[in-house]
Amino acid sequence: MGLDRRQRKTQQAIEREFIRLLQAKPLNKISVAEIVSGADISRSTFYLHYTDIYELYDQINNGFLDGLVSSFEAYYPAVTESYFGLAQRLIDYIVKNKKLSKIFINENNVSLIDKLSKIFIDKVLAFEKIDSNNYEEYYLVVWSVRGMIGAIINWINEGMDPAEGIFVDVMRKILDRL
């Protein structure tokens, strides 16, 4: 059974305020009091939806990652223009979710980067039917995925500069060399 409209609006207000706070300071410096004040709700209302801020963080983070992985899955098997089409779709998703991208995808979030890398590596291996014992092919996939993720992290940390179109063109040229 889903949430009613009031519950959804309350959760959206909590999430908006939490994301606003995450843009300004680290997770461990955010309190429930700040969230409820900014969202204009009571503490008890917050606790009706979440056990603590870490559950809220995990829910938003997992939703962001699920969207990124879904974007990958929706396009990868059908992408005919090599890795470039995939890179374009991932970059589009990141730009569309710019606030969350800046919060979650950064060089300090090693566990997320490792998790994301493993997901994408495993999916490429499965889609391409590459045996992980074929070391040359396996490490080409590892290198490609981690390299693309590393470039995207750097681009996000640089304030998404250059502009998306220029960055995508650079990524295309790099991937064409492979």
Question: What pLDDT does residue 107 have?
Answer: 67
The confidence band for 137, taking pLDDT boundaries of 50, 70 and 90, is very high
If phi > 0 it is left, if psi is from -120 to 50 it is alpha, else beta; for residue 129 that is left
Over residues 102-133, the pLDDT tens digits come to: 898 876 778 888 888 898 899 888 888 899 99
Is the pLDDT confidence value at 80 over 60?
no
Please list the helix, strand and coil fractions of the chain in percent, rounded to the nearest 5, in that order. Answer: 80, 0, 20
pLDDT digits (tens, 9 = 90+) for 140-171: 989 988 988 899 999 998 989 999 889 988 88
**14-44 pLDDT, tens digit each:** 999 999 999 999 999 999 999 999 999 999 9
